[in-house]
A and B are shown apart, each in its own frame.
Chain A
Amino acid sequence: MSSSTSSFNGIAGEPGKVQTGNGKERTGRRYPGWGLLGFIVLIVFLEIAVFRNIDFYGLSPGFIGQIAELKHSFARADADQIEIAVLGDSQSIDALRPEMLAAELGIPRERIFNFSISGGSAFDIAKTYDRYKDRLPRLKKAIVVVNEHQLNDTLNDGDVKFKYFAGLRDRLAVMNADNYGELLLGWALKMYDMRTVWADMVLKYRSGKLRDHIPAHEGGLAPVVWSKPEDRTKAYANEVADRWFQQYRIDGVRTRAFDAMIRELRSRGVAVTILQLPRSSYFEDTVKEKYGKQQDAYFAVVRGIAERYGASFEVMPNDELTLDDFRDTNHVNPKGAEWVSRYVARRWLR
Chain B
Amino acid sequence: MWFHSPNFLVFFVLLLIPFYLFKNKRIALLAAADVLFYAASGFGMLLLFLLMSVVNYAIIRAMKYEKWRWMFWLGIGINVFNLAFFKYSVFLLNSLEAATGFDIGFKETLAAQIVLPVGISFYTFEFISYLIDVRRGITEPTRSFLSYWVYVSLFPHLIAGPIMRGDELFPQLDALKDKNIRWPEVKYGLYIFAIGLIKKIAFADQLAPIANSLFAEAETLTPVQSWIAAYAFCFQIYFDFSAYSDMAIGLGYILGIKLVQNFDSPYISSNPSEFWRRWHITLSRWIRDYIYIGLGGNRRGPVRTQFNLLAAMLISGLWHGAMWTFVLWGGIHGMLLILHKWSLALNRWSWIARLRKSVPYRIAAVAVFFHVITWTWVFFRAQSLEEAFGLSRKMLHADWLSLLRAPEMIWVAALFVLHLFEYVIRRYEAQSSKIWHFVPFPVRSCAYVAIALVLTYLVKGATYEFIYFQF
Residue positions of A touching B, CB distance < 8 A: 1, 3-12, 15-16, 18-24, 26-29, 31, 33-39, 41-43, 46, 177-178, 180-182, 184-186, 191-192, 195-196, 198-199, 202
CA distance A46 to B450 in the complex (A): 12
Q: Is the CB of A21 within 8 A of B449?
A: no
How many Å from the CB of A61 to the closest CB on chain B? 18
Q: Is B457 in contact with A195, judged by CB distance below 8 angstroms?
A: yes
A207 to chain B, nearest CB (A): 16
- Do A11 and B298 have beta carbons less than 8 Å apart? no
**Chain A residues, CB < 8 A from B453:** 191
* B44 CB within 8 Å of chain A: no
Q: Which residue of A lies closest to B428 (CB)?
A: A22
Q: Are B7 and A182 in contact (CB under 8 A)?
A: yes
Q: Does B187 contact A29, Cβ atoms closer than 8 Å?
A: yes
Contact A26 B185, CB 8 Å, known A21-B249, A38-B441, A184-B6? yes
**Per-residue interface assignment for chain B, residues 182 to 194, with 1 indicating a CB less than 8 Å from any chain A CB and 0 otherwise:** 1111011010100
**Chain A residues whose C-beta falls within 8 Å of the C-beta of B184 in the assembled complex:** 26-29
Q: Using known A-B contacts A26-B188, A33-B187, determine if residue A185 contacts B285 with beta carbons closer than 8 Å.
A: no
**Does B426 lie within 8 Å of A22, measured CB to CB?**
yes
Interface size class of B (residues with CB under 8 A): 35 or more
CA distance A201 to B285 in the complex (A): 49
Docked CA distance A141–B272 (Å): 80
Enumerate 28 A-B pairs (CB-CB under 8 Å) in ascending A order. A4-B297, A5-B289, A5-B297, A10-B285, A10-B288, A10-B337, A11-B276, A16-B289, A19-B261, A20-B258, A21-B188, A21-B192, A31-B433, A31-B437, A34-B441, A36-B187, A37-B445, A38-B448, A41-B445, A42-B446, A43-B449, A178-B7, A181-B7, A184-B6, A186-B6, A195-B457, A198-B457, A199-B457
Contacts of A16 in B (CB 8 A): 138, 165, 167, 285, 289
One of B8-16, B54-62, B407-415 at the interface: B8-16
Check if B152 is an interface residue, CB within 8 A of chain A. Answer: no
Given known A7-B309, A199-B457, contact A21–B253 (CB-CB < 8 A): yes
Are B249 and A6 closer than 8 Å at their CB atoms? no
Contacts of B289 on A, CB cut-off 8 Å?
Answer: 5, 15-16
Q: Does B376 contact A (CB under 8 A)?
A: no
Complex CA–CA separation, A34 to B188 (angstroms): 14
A8-B298, A9-B341 given; 16 more Cβ-contact pairs under 8 Å? A3-B297, A3-B299, A8-B297, A10-B285, A10-B292, A11-B281, A16-B138, A18-B281, A19-B260, A24-B429, A26-B188, A28-B184, A33-B183, A35-B445, A192-B456, A202-B457
8 tightest Cβ-Cβ pairs between the two chains A and B: A38-B445, A4-B297, A181-B6, A181-B7, A9-B273, A35-B444, A7-B298, A34-B441
CA A199 – CA B454 in complex, angstroms?
10
Assess whether B211 is interfacial by the CB under 8 Å rule.
Answer: no
Residues in B whose Cβ lies below 8 Å from that of A180? 7, 10
- Evaluate contact between A5 and B293: CB separation under 8 angstroms: yes
The answer on a CB contact under 8 Å between B305 and A38 is no
Q: Is the CB of B341 within 8 A of A182?
A: no
Cβ–Cβ < 8 Å partners of A34 in chain B: 441, 444-445
Q: For the complex, give the distance between the alpha carbons of A16 and B187 in Å.
A: 28
The verdict on A10 contacting B284 (CB below 8 Å), with A21-B258, A39-B445 known, is yes
Please tell me which one of the listed residues B10, B340, B448, B449 contacts residue A185 in the complex, with CB atoms under 8 A apart.
Answer: B10
Least Cβ–Cβ distance between B44 and chain A, in angstroms:
16
| Interface membership of B77, Cβ < 8 A | no
Given contacts A9-B337, A33-B187, A4 and B296 within 8 Å (CB-CB): yes
Q: Could you count the A-B residue pairs with CB atoms below 8 Å apart for me: how many are there? A: 161
Q: Which residue of A lies closest to B282 (CB)?
A: A18
Q: A11-B284, A195-B460 are in contact. Are A181 and B446 (CB under 8 A)?
A: no
* Residues of chain B contacted by A184 (CB below 8 angstroms): 6, 10
With the chains together, A18 CA to B284 CA distance in Å?
A: 11
**Option from B182, B426, B449 in Cβ contact (under 8 Å) with A42:** B449
Digitize B425-448: 1 where CB-to-A-CB distance is under 8 Å, 0 elsewhere: 010011001000100011011101
Give the residues from 242 to 283 in chain B that come closer than 8 angstroms, CB to CB, to chain A.
Answer: 249, 253, 258-261, 272-273, 276-277, 281-282
| B452 interfacial by beta-carbon distance below 8 Å | yes
Closest to B313 in A: A10
Q: How far is the CB of A198 from chain B (nearest CB, A)?
A: 8
Cβ B277 vs Cβ A10 within 8 A? yes
- Bound form: Cα–Cα A10–B442 in Å: 45
B131 an interface residue at 8 Å Cβ cutoff? Answer: no
Residues of A within 8 A of B312 (CB): 8
Instruction: Tell me which of B261, B273, B460 contacts A10 (CB under 8 A).
Output: B273
Task: Kindly list chain A residues whose C-beta atoms are within 8 Å of the C-beta of B446.
Answer: 38, 42
Q: Does B287 have its Cβ within 8 Å of any Cβ on chain A? A: yes
Q: Cα distance A39–B453 when bound, in Å?
A: 12
CA distance A26 to B186 in the complex (A): 12
Given B9, B260, B288, B441, which contacts A5 in the complex, CB threshold below 8 Å? B288
Cα A42 to Cα B453 in complex, Å, equals: 12
Task: Tell me the B303-359 residues at the A interface (CB within 8 Å).
Answer: 305, 309, 312, 337, 340-341
Q: How far is it, in angstroms, between the C-alpha of A42 and the C-alpha of B287 when the chains are bound? A: 48
Cross-chain contact A181 with B5 (CB below 8 angstroms): yes
Q: Which residues of B contact A185 (CB under 8 A)?
A: 6, 9-10
Question: Which residues from 156 to 210 on chain B have a C-beta closer than 8 Å to any C-beta of chain A?
Answer: 165, 167, 182-185, 187-188, 190, 192
